Amino acid sequence: MAKPGTEHGPDALREGGLIKKLMGLGLDVHDYGDVGTPSHEDDHHFDLPVKNPKHVATASENIAADVYNVIKSGRTCLALGGDHSMAIGSIFGHSLAEPEHVVVWVDAHADINTPLTSSSGNMHGMPLSFLVKELQPYISKLPGFEFIKPCLSAKNIAYIGLRDVDPGERYIIEKLGIQSFSMSEVDRHGIKDVVEKAMHYLDPEGVKPIHLSFDIDALDPSLAPSTGTPVPGGLSIREGNYICEELAATGRLTCVDIAEVNPSLGNERDNLITVNSALSIITHCFGGRRQGTYPKNYQIPIPTHTNHVAPPPS
């Protein structure tokens, strides 16, 4: 069931001090504001297996244009959701700017249902299916989606943190050979080995741009209670931050999605915990390090030398 409120996620993160925290890392931050998402009164299609396709299509097209422009300007893009259907636009826009990019998808869910494998019709469970080239024969024609061109090969995706995967999604992952590290693999191998294996699989030469799509429900619900589809047994904040630190350290992380922060769910304490977790994830994508950090061009202050007159003898 769809749960409204994720549209307020970006403002919750801003109000939580996002801009100040990023500027504190010495970054040149520009907030481009919210993406326009016009509503469509005629967006109820009982003959289609999806909900609100025109609304999602319009938002995706606008997101894609903005992400493309940010990356082509030489900046790193941070896209704040919103539910995870935002990734249709952010990944497509990234592909237009950097066609060779790879995607690290950190999430409790695979979000690769096709319109016909989905049991809910919620498009936040389908974004990757519209983008993966190998799935196009299985994708229904939807109004407004004509602009989307498949831009990802299955070999260019790696999942981390999965623990709630629908049957159709599991079949797709295995049929296409998508690299997938569920929480079972995280528990078995540790987050260090998982990240190393994922990146070696995606980019053994270490040259491709990276797109990180991070659903806050990848974290354990104790760390992100204000989200629509929490699943117990998730990543710790240490594991989440480690993923981000390692991707940032490559110097090739050029787009980051943060999805599914929903301040309409839970109480004030739940909201604060979720926002703080999301802010921690974001800052570790942009240079924050647990061993400490300092702004670019930081220098140790040098004391000013003045002449001191000795006091007269008593």
Catalytic residue among 66, 83, 217, 246: 217
Q: Is 164 annotated as a binding residue?
A: no
> Could you write out the DSSP letters of every residue in 66-125?
HHHHHHHTTPPEEEE-SSTTHHHHHHHHHHHH-TT-EEEEE-SS-----TTT-SS--GGG
Backbone angles phi, psi at 143, to 5 degrees: -65, 130
Q: Rg for the chain (alpha carbons), in Å? A: 21
Find out whether 217 is annotated in a ligand binding site. yes
Is position 109 annotated as part of the catalytic site?
yes
* Encoded tokens for 88: 């249709």
d(CA 68, CA 92): 8
Q: Catalytic pick from 66, 83, 107, 257? A: 107
Q: What are phi and psi of 102, to 5 degrees?
A: -120, 160
- CA distance to 3, 51, 56, 246, per residue, from 114 (Å): 20, 13, 15, 31
28 labelled catalytic: no
Catalytic residue among 61, 83, 260, 284: 260
Is 257 a known active-site residue?
no
Alpha-carbon distances, residue 277 vs 17, 162, 203, 214, 239 (angstroms)? 12, 18, 28, 12, 12
217 catalytic? Reply is yes
Catalytic residue among 185, 215, 220, 246: 215
d(CA 230, CA 108): 8
Count CB-CB contacts under 10 A for residue 38. Answer: 9
User: Is 220 annotated among the ligand-binding residues?
Assistant: no
215 catalytically annotated: yes
Residue 299, CA atoms < 13 Å, CB-side half-sphere: 4
Q: Is 94 a catalytic residue?
A: no
On whether 193 is known to bind a ligand per the annotation, the reply is no
Q: Which amino acid is at 48?
A: L
Question: Out of 94, 124, 211, 284, which one is annotated catalytic?
Answer: 124
Question: Annotated catalytic, 200?
Answer: no
For residue 55, indicate whether it is catalytic: no
- The reply to whether 215 sits in an annotated binding site is yes
Q: Which is catalytic among the residues 66, 83, 84, 211?
A: 84
- Which residue among the candidates 61, 98, 111, 166 is catalytic per the annotation? 111
* Residue 84 counted as an annotated binding residue: yes
Catalytic site residue from 109, 185, 203, 257: 109
Binding-site annotation, residues for Mn(2+) = 84, 107, 109, 111, 215, 217
- Active-site residue numbers? 84, 107, 109, 111, 124, 215, 217, 260
Binding-site annotation, residues = 84, 107, 109, 111, 215, 217
